[in-house]
Amino acid sequence: MNKTIKILTVLLAAQLLLAVGVGLTDRGITVTNEPVALVSFDTEKIDRISLDGPEDAKVTLSKNDGDWVLPDLGEFPANNNKVNQLLERLEALRSNTPLATSAGARERFKVSDEQFERRITLSEGNDAVARLFLGSSPGIRLIHARNEASDAIHAVKMAEFDVPVKTSDWEDKSILTLPKTRITAIKVNGLHLQRNTLAADSDKANDDSSQSPTWQAYGLAEGKQLETSAVDKLAGLLADLRFEKVMGHEIKDEYGLEEPVLELSLTPRGGERVTYRVGKAKDREEYTLKLSTRPEYFRLVSYKTKPLIEAASLEELTERSPQSGEEAVSSKKPPDS
């Protein structure tokens, strides 16, 4: 009898241990389960992104020959790095235990189909492969998110400003820039400014101030000589020229381009001459740029445009010659450029 009781006791203890073990295992699966991707997609196959915000704000990005463009701006180049960063952030989003799953919670956290702060749609061709809603923020660098294919609402590491819904925030602002050492000639205010042949052709030329380029001027007034450091400054401002936003392909009277405040041409090494025309609005500090080589009109940043206009003036580019009547580093006939 005692032997039977001992056997039963051992079996009961084993069953209890097994039950506890199963319970711990189940709890472990729930608590330590690895987070899964909130949205799943193949980055290389995504060729269209739609970003929607409140009040019908929308930006569309599409891939064209491997580069991202803005189709609503006539295929204007988008900031490829910024688009790729967005895709990387979305791919890195991970979800675990949801905060809520009810329809009421979707409205409360602003991640419903009708109410949201951001709706991100990733597409391959004409097929949407993933759609994510971003809503209210529970804390710094956190935002409520819901995959359209699920009722689960999560708090993820992301912010609303990571997904702007203004087209100008996605434009490639570097489209007008070029290396300063590529500028071989500038024509402005009756002057033809030519980088000398040695400096223009040197493979060692760079933007180091210790290796300032040497310039020649054609068309100098009698008694004037070229201020070469001023030419170098002008070349630097043109090389680093950036815009605020694309204004479209149609000219408007408000741009002030009929009477430009600045007009010059630039010749890059190995490229065609580019004409720059800058207009100013009559009643406000707004400047618009038109290039001869591009169809768009660009709104410039005013605080950067004023130094450019000043740097292109004759007062800045020339100074009185120490020898009266001498046209230093000047020639009457400029070379073709």
**Domain limits, the chain:** 36-170, 180-331
Binned at pLDDT 50, 70 and 90, residue 333 comes out as: low
pTM listed for this prediction: 0.81
Q: How far apart are CA 37 and CA 29, in angstroms?
A: 17
DSSP structural state of residue 168:
G
- What would the pLDDT profile of 107-125 be if each residue is shown by its tens digit? 999 999 999 999 999 999 9
- Give the mean pLDDT of the chain: 86
Q: Residue 6: what pLDDT?
A: 53
Q: How far apart are CA 117 and CA 141, in angstroms?
A: 15
- What would the pLDDT profile of 207-253 be if each residue is shown by its tens digit? 554 455 589 999 999 999 999 999 999 999 999 999 999 999 999 99
- What would the pLDDT profile of 144-179 be if each residue is shown by its tens digit? 999 999 999 999 999 999 999 999 999 999 999 999
Structure-block tokens of residue 337? 């450029």
Q: Residue 210: what pLDDT?
A: 46
Contacts of 109 (CB under 8 A, 6+ apart): 99, 100, 135, 136, 144, 146, 153
Distances (CA, A) of 238 to 250, 265, 266, 269: 24, 10, 9, 14
Q: How far apart are CA 135 and CA 120, in angstroms?
A: 11
CATH classification code of 180-331: 2.60.40
Sheet with 127-134: strands ordered across: 76-77, 67-70, 58-64, 48-52, 118-124, 127-134, 143-147, 154-156
- What would the pLDDT profile of 301-328 be if each residue is shown by its tens digit? 999 999 999 999 999 999 887 764 444 4
